[in-house]
Chains A and B, each alone.
Chain A
Amino acid sequence: NAGVTQTPKFQVLKTGQSMTLQCAQDMNHEYMSWYRQDPGMGLRLIHYSVGAGITDQGEVPNGYNVSRSTTEDFPLRLLSAAPSQTSVYFCASSYSPGQRDSPLHFGNGTRLTVT
């Protein structure tokens, strides 16, 4: 298994541009989530999904959209990039409690800079 795969690893955007961060997992995990990591702020939850067709907001959802059309994929869309969205983004997945109890598995992260 490849685990959780994120692309790209690095990205530079100009203010106002849009882009999609890709996340895929091959572990048949129902639960997928996106976090952003900023110095001194820990990992803050942006959006999450408990299964295909179901998404919900986390702590810091503004400026981001998600969709979950398949179990494997959970893309994160930045609608109009702002410098405040400069961060490291992590996708993470796990089984749902109804499937099997398991910890979060993280991808390798995407480092995004918005100028």
Chain B
Amino acid sequence: GENVEQHPSTLSVQEGDSAVIKCTYSDSASNYFPWYKQELGKRPQLIIDIRSNVGEKKDQRIAVTLNKTAKHFSLHITETQPEDSAVYFCAARLRPGAQKLVFGQGTRLTINP
């Protein structure tokens, strides 16, 4: 069935270190993979996305990598800062031409000063 698995569920890193969150998806036809950040009590907001014709995308301290063969994609945050503390969700559009997104279970990232 349609499924996106996200790991770890919680992650704690020291300020300045890197954080990596990984997701796997079930449908090889999936073509769009966004990442959302949700601060406490707020709505999810897009931070970066990648399409299936690209292997890596960077935006300042944030990068996403995609391995289509293995059906997994990862979020990398470098030089972490306290304001990076939040819940992060990966998602996948499981059918080209469809708009429905399936989300992972979320990762609570805590940056320790």
Residues of A near any B CB (own CB < 8 A): 31, 33, 35, 40-45, 48, 50, 58-59, 90, 94, 96-97, 101, 103-104, 106-109
Binds A, one of B12-20, B43-51, B76-84: B43-51
Residues of B near any A CB (own CB < 8 A): 2, 6, 9, 32, 34, 42-46, 49, 89, 91, 96-106
Q: Which residues of B sit under 8 angstroms from A45, Cβ to Cβ?
A: 100-103
Query: Per a CB cutoff under 8 Å, which of B6, B100, B106 touches A33?
Result: B100
Q: Are B99 and A106 in contact (CB under 8 A)?
A: no
Q: What is the interface of chain B mostly: helix, strand, loop, or mixed? A: loop
Q: Which residues of B sit under 8 angstroms from A59, Cβ to Cβ?
A: 2, 102
Q: Are A103 and B46 in contact (CB under 8 A)?
A: yes
Q: How far is the CB of B73 from the nearest CB of chain A, in Å?
A: 15
Q: Which residues of A sit under 8 angstroms from B91, Cβ to Cβ?
A: 43
23 A–B contacts from the bound complex (CB under 8 Å): A31-B99, A35-B103, A40-B106, A41-B105, A42-B103, A42-B104, A43-B91, A43-B103, A43-B106, A44-B103, A45-B100, A50-B99, A59-B2, A59-B102, A94-B99, A97-B98, A104-B34, A104-B46, A104-B101, A106-B44, A106-B45, A107-B43, A109-B43
Number of A-B contacts defined by CB within 8 Å:
52
Q: How far is the CB of B64 from the nearest CB of chain A, in Å?
A: 13
Q: CA of A20 to CA of B84 in the docked complex: distance in angstroms?
A: 35
Q: CA of A90 to CA of B101 in the docked complex: distance in angstroms?
A: 13
Q: CA of A74 to CA of B34 in the docked complex: distance in angstroms?
A: 23
Asked whether A103 and B34 contact (CB < 8 A) given A41-B105, A42-B104, A90-B43, the answer is yes
Asked whether A97 and B99 contact (CB < 8 A) given A42-B104, A42-B105, the answer is yes
Q: Which residues of A sit under 8 angstroms from B2, Cβ to Cβ?
A: 59
